[in-house]
Chain A
Amino acid sequence: MKTKRLIIYSLGFSVALGLSSCEDFLDLEPISQETSDTAYQTASQIEGALTGTYESFQSSQYYAWDFVVYQDIRSDNAYAGGDNAEIFTADKLTVTTTDTRVYSAWSSIYNAILKANTVLEKAPLVTDVSLTEERRAQILGEAAFLRAYHYFTLVKLFGGVPLILEPTSSTDPAETDVPRNTEEEVYAQIIADLEYALDNRLPDSYGSDASVNKARATKGAANALLAAVYAQMPNRDYNKVLQYADAVINSPAGYTLLTNYDYLFDGNHYNNSESIMEVQYLGGNEGSWAPQMHLPPSLSGDTWRKFTTPSHDLANAFDAEEDAVRKNATIFWEEAPWADEYWGNAVGSEIPFAYKWRNAMGWASTDRPYIFRLGDIILLKAEALNELNRITEAATEVNKIRLRVNLDGITATSQEQMRGVILKERRLELALEGRRWDDLVRYGQAIEVMNSLNEVDLRTGTATNYNATQADLLLPIPQQEINRNPTLTQNPL
């Protein structure tokens, strides 16, 4: 009976002990995650939040390569390839309201905005003394730049979108269901963010390391974005375009055109002097899978039909200009083990491949998209000068670009003719870099250009009819998003 009592007492004791520690037992904190209460307290944590914001350039499918789909494939530069029905609809200007790629772009870009909003909200609250005020200001400037950049992407794709400027903290529909702002309001916010970033926050450079200076937002990047914004927005201000383009060109950061155009893309000149900002890839687990989507079997190592096929119209544009340097830097020709409906409707035809990324590296490439490079800004400056009726000066700028690819300089005749020259020059200079659709829209030529294309589908022997209308200038607001936020209105379809 003694043992029995002993057992009873020890059981009773352990039960009592168990109950007293109950709340501790239940108070668990995540092991492999931080919580919003503790994740933004130190200097290194806020740096981490900012780094996470930059990471959207890699994790967003839009910034990884879909910008090529919606700028170059959608326009006259390229056809859709591969086997993805939605890329074909982008090519044919028949994107549906339920398109998942469009929804993915919308979602991932807004996710990037959430990250930027988080930094903008949390950085001022960090009390860690190791965060200098200079660095705090830079962090705020970088986050503001990134938010502006993403809203610029959205407003170009969709027109006016909901402006969300603080991290969402509640699931209350009153907070989450934000209606669309107007295009003008979005542009105003972009400009406000960039002016904030330039207000003694962003530096010209972060020291001498190009792999930092081209990774982070700088004054140069903010000025480049402002130049692009003032050129693209509905109520354009070409004086501002000129002002900010000049700010880039004359930046203490010392941006210069590379002498060899091919160096921009050959994979041996990352973070070069022409680059203002570029998405950083290192290969491996910091690699880009996008080049694999483009490169031919001999370079990609696989035999999939590729997703981007440069168009006859683009190839013809290079040929008409006898622009061999840029053509060869943009397009690679190879006999493909599949039939192509535009280039050769039989297996083994020679067809062109997008070539501005050149290293597939097993879906983990080091190749980068440029966020901004000087060549683009010089042409923007030319555009501004022309619109300000400084045609000769505009021609001078264009010729800087033509000269390095061994083309003759042009001489200005009329403002109107110069517009055509600049648009064409931008096309040849920036083909497959994700600029074309915006340029066509900005020049008011998208509908006309698309409808006058003569791209013959060899399977049917008839030219593809793009039927471009005003409604095709913008993508539809994703129906999935309208389902979640009924306050949104659809774009004209």
Chain B
Amino acid sequence: MQSKSMHRLGKFSLTLAFVCLYVSGEAKSISDSGNTLVTKHKVEQSFAVRSLKETLQELRNIYGIQFSYASNVASDLPLQVPENLTGATQVEQLLKRILTPSGLKFKKVNNVYIISKDEKTIPVKAVGYQVPAAASNLENTSRVADITVTGRVTDENGEGLPGVTILLKGTAVGTATDFSGNYSLNVPDGAGTLVVSFIGYQTQEVAINNQTSLNITLSPDAKALAEVVVIGYGTQEKKDITGSVAVVDAEAFENRPNNMVANLIQGQAAGVQVQSTSGKPSAGLSIRIRGTNSINSSSEPLYVVDGVPTTDTRSLNPADIESISVLKDASSAAIYGAQGANGVVLITTKRGKEGKPRFDFSTYRGFSTVWNTLPVLNAEQYRDLMTELGYNTNWSQYTENTDWQKEVFQKGTSQNYQLSFSGKNNGTSYYVSGGWVQQEGAVRSAEMDRYSFKVNLDQEVNKWLKLGTSIGVTRYHDVDVTDNTNVNSGGVILGVLTTPPVIGIYNADGTTFTSNPFQNWENPISSTDAADRGYRNNRIIGNLYGEVEFLPGLKFRSNFGLDSNSDIYDYFLDPYSTSYGRAMMGIGRNTTNYNTYFIWDNTVSYNKEIGKHNFSALVGTIAQKWRWESAGVETRSFISDAITTPNAGSQLITATASKSEKTNASAIGRITYDFADKYLLTANFRADASSNFGPGKRWGYFPSFSAGWRVSEESFLSGLPVINDLKLRAGWGIVGNDQIGNYAYFGTVSSGANYPIGGAAQPGSYPASIQNNDLKWEESEQTNVGLDISVLNSRITFTADAYLKNTRDLLLNAPLPRSTGYDNAVQNVGQLQNKGLEFQLTTRNFVNDFKWDTDLNISFNRNKVVDIVGQELYYANVSSRGEVSLVREGLPLGTFYGYTWGGVDPETGMGYYVDRNGESTFTPTAEDRTIIGNANPDFIYGITNNLSYKNFGLNIFLQGSQGNDVFNATRIETEGMTDPKNQSIAVLNRWRAVGDITDIPKAVVGSTANSLTSTRFIEDGSYLRAKAITLSYNLPATLLSKVRANNLRLYVTGENLFTITKYSGFDPEVNAYGSSNTTQGIDFGTYPQTRNLIFGLNLSF
């Protein structure tokens, strides 16, 4: 009995050894390829005796591998270990050699090396396992056990998982699986629940239900693994980040097709507003990170593609992107100092991963339509209106009935093909891809296509030198459609609304375009079809880096990046089909730009861990230079349309070429420190010089500090297992902005003011700007506090951030009185404020066969112009009725300004307005204009639901904006009734006779009195739209193995399937003024967002 119980005790102790706390090594790896970086190193041959723990810690430090082992196995087991662990070619071989003699073995599970006792081998040296203090208690409870549950714990592939902890819920009774994943546990009765947990896997609870045999399958928990985030000049573990960084990884955007980088971010990250200013295939997207930071200087963020900064991302292929980090606050962006004021978007492209070569092929085909049409007057209604306006013609000549929306809006198509292969061997990792995307827009003639090639290579030359390169080559092409202007200026979208139905497309001659019966506004097809036009861009963006490791932890990295692109815009208007073309006898234009940019940065970084103190430092220098060159030629007078290049025109109108440059030089530094993963500190410093400022004001200094406290690591919270992670963050910093135009401080004198004297043009000059030696950096001081919390086995994670940004010394292109002869001058005046709240909530609602994840983010930003030295700035003169956008102290950018609409006087039919004294008037004066709206949303949000069941997946991405006004200037054109344009059916309600009660005034030719810029055209632009819904199916493994494929996914995506909005125009997601800081939310015949249906296939083998 005694011996039996002793035996039992001994056996129990052995089992218990595995139950003890698993010490998890700290992951330094970037991805699951991290540990493979070193697999081919050479093993050095001299050996020493060291403890297992020490050895594993060193391996972890050197190779960034993660280990998991029972603490008692580890602590003082002496091993024969090579003197120098660095340079091992095969980490696994090395491990085997070290562990086997001690009767240990390892298994690599989900990127973690699990060290355990090898039952099959006899240890060379006996190991004295120590029974942990808790064991005696456990023994007591285990004595009352009366049933034994046995079984096997396996991973998702059915392989046994060793070292899995199995606890009886609510007790200390527990065990761990053996090397094959088998376990056996004595429990008091069959009513309890087993809690099965293992690092890297989602914890499961299984009711025993009187069963004695329970097999359990664990599913991997990607999120629980140390998530590594790309930050400026380095990477950091997510748990250590103290600034505000949003990460959008491939997982979030692989589910749906995308053509543009900005699409990947839209609705995915709190605090990031992606404004699609138009639905054109060629449309760039405008991104605002935490509001608009400047008035005249750019407010677009900086993009950094594999270390090469850029502003134009249209030529990047989203399929090549591995992850995107958005650095939102000053403490994370300050390392980019000069260029970081508007936030930084770090784009990391894919690199080869360990394993056999992998091929990925993806393709899709899509169809797009304008989802909304606006009803306009038919032929009869148009004639009535014209007659009422006093326009008279021989109506019998105008018998057509053309639906211009039908003629111009078409079924757009898109297709995309993408092939890549990647892999890694012998220290070389490679990723090579090629892609082609082609789109025809939903508006006639709009198109876009892009070829892209990408090569990423990394080579470990030897144990201390690593070299690599990333090269992307693209050819981008688009054909634009003129929008955001009225039909008078060739605006196509307003053209389809205001061109009367009574005319056909061509005149009787069959070659010339028709025009309005009363005014020679040619029909919109003339704008889409008459001119041959196109933009082509060829671009090479890439870098070359070398990394030298002097000592463990001390690295020097030199990176040379290049962005070289050339673009050509061609335009040819034939000499016969349009009135303008006939007058000019044809126009040929060719404009070319050649832009080069280089960056050379050199950094030294050092990491050191002393006990619980972790320390890293980075210092470096950066030099950047931009050079822009452009040339243009225009000729007129062509014989025919046979030759479309300017060489065939006889009359030279323009021939010009010019160049400019900008340079920046910078020094950067960063220190991070953490104590026991609990207290985290980061300090950044960047000194930045810009050639845009004069010698005395050239340098700007941009410090930042941030701190984090991982409360969950504190002992007082360790008793709360419900909280997996809780971190408080706070940061402060200053970032700068110099994006105000090259040579900004100079008083420049431009040429080209040539004038003929003596029968030939003489060269003339003119003063172009005022010298300003005091011009200096615009500074944005930002404070951020945040909270990250993860609870219930990381089923719920929540991030909240609050920020305050004060931008001061605004680089304001401040208007000057025109009596000075200048329009404006760049000055450092004024202050702008953005403050806001951001929340991001991720929940894993179901985690078994049926999986459902939800990601919700919502952002509130408040923008305010604090100080512009009392000036008032006016922008956006729409439809020649005065400016609609006002910049005034105390108000946000994007404030609408105009008259207050009163209504329609039943007696006269004229619209009346409310003047500044609150009295109604038919003839308000400029002083009666007031604030009439605000284009800034109260909040923006995005909701992504990922559902899957077995091989089916459903991704629903909703996105919305709430509380923003839109100034619908389109309605000035379609409800103004001042000229012979066709109008919307709203005007059927117009006033016609005394006593008519209506809100549409009477038609008065040539008078804008009834259609002043007023509250009449302000609308609620709030919307919620199904941005993308994707249904996908992954072919089952059994079928895949027959075709030797790893993965085959079929999907269908619907974009903009529905939109909930009260907005009356084509689409609420518009801005006629693109990415303007001051003018937002104006719809003036903007190319609308389209509804797209896309069918796609992804295949990898």
A contacts, CB < 8 Å to B: 4, 7-8, 11, 15, 18-19, 22-23, 25-37, 39-40, 45, 47-55, 57-59, 83-86, 88, 92, 96-98, 100, 103, 106-107, 110-115, 117-118, 161-162, 164, 167-171, 173, 176-178, 209, 211-212, 215-216, 280-287, 292, 300-305, 337-339, 341, 345-347, 360, 362-364, 457-460, 478-481, 483-485, 493
Contacts and interface: CB of A to CB of B under 8 A. Distances in A.
Contacts of B689: 22, 26
A106 B758 contact: no
A362 B232 CA distance: 55
A106 B768 CA distance: 18
Contacts of A37: 747, 771
B651 A364 contact: yes
A176 B757 contact: no
A481 B817 contact: yes
Contacts of A287: 653
A161 B874 CA distance: 23
Contact of B748 (A36, A168, A285, A338): A36
Contacts of B771: 35-37, 169
B766 A115 contact: yes
B659 interface: yes
Contacts of B661: 28, 31
Contacts of B815: 483-484
Interface string B744-762: 0011111101111111111
Given A97-B925, A211-B757, A460-B390, A107 B659 contact: no
Given A30-B746, A83-B521, A216-B757, A346 B583 contact: no
Contact of B665 (A22, A84, A280, A286): A22
Contacts of B655: 285
A292 B823 CA distance: 28
B791 interface: no
A218 B874 CA distance: 42
B751 A346 contact: no
Interface residues of B, number: 105
A59 B753 contact: yes
Nearest to B664: A26
Interface in B715-769: 742-743, 746-751, 753-768
B1060 interface: no
Interface string B550-581: 10000010100000000000000000000110
Given A19-B621, A178-B817, A7 B636 contact: no
B345 to A, nearest CB: 26
Contacts of A338: 518-520
B819 A162 contact: yes
Contact of B753 (A51, A169, A215): A51
Contacts of B390: 341, 345, 457-460
Interface string B785-825: 00000000000000000000000000000111111111101
Interface of B: 389-394, 397, 464-465, 488, 515, 517-521, 548, 550, 556, 558, 579-580, 582-585, 600, 602, 621, 623, 625, 636-637, 651-655, 658-665, 689-691, 695, 698, 742-743, 746-751, 753-768, 770-772, 814-823, 825, 827, 869, 871-872, 874, 877, 880, 882-883, 925-926, 978-979, 1005-1006, 1008
24 contacts: A25-B623, A28-B663, A28-B742, A31-B658, A33-B746, A36-B748, A39-B765, A48-B763, A51-B753, A51-B754, A83-B521, A85-B978, A85-B1006, A111-B766, A111-B818, A302-B579, A303-B520, A304-B520, A305-B519, A337-B520, A345-B392, A346-B394, A459-B390, A484-B818
A304 B698 CA distance: 53
B1013 to A, nearest CB: 10
Contacts of B746: 29-30, 33, 35-36
Given A282-B759, A304-B579, A362-B637, A481 B818 contact: yes
A340 B361 CA distance: 64
Nearest to B1013: A98
Given A286-B761, A302-B583, 17 more contacts: A18-B600, A18-B621, A25-B663, A31-B661, A34-B750, A39-B765, A49-B766, A51-B762, A57-B755, A110-B818, A176-B819, A215-B758, A302-B580, A337-B520, A345-B390, A347-B394, A479-B926
A11 B602 CA distance: 9
Given A22-B665, A25-B623, A168-B770, A55 B755 contact: yes
Contact of B762 (A32, A47, A84): A47
B1012 to A, nearest CB: 10
B801 to A, nearest CB: 36
B742 A4 contact: no
B392 A51 contact: no
Contacts of B883: 98, 480
A341 B980 CA distance: 13
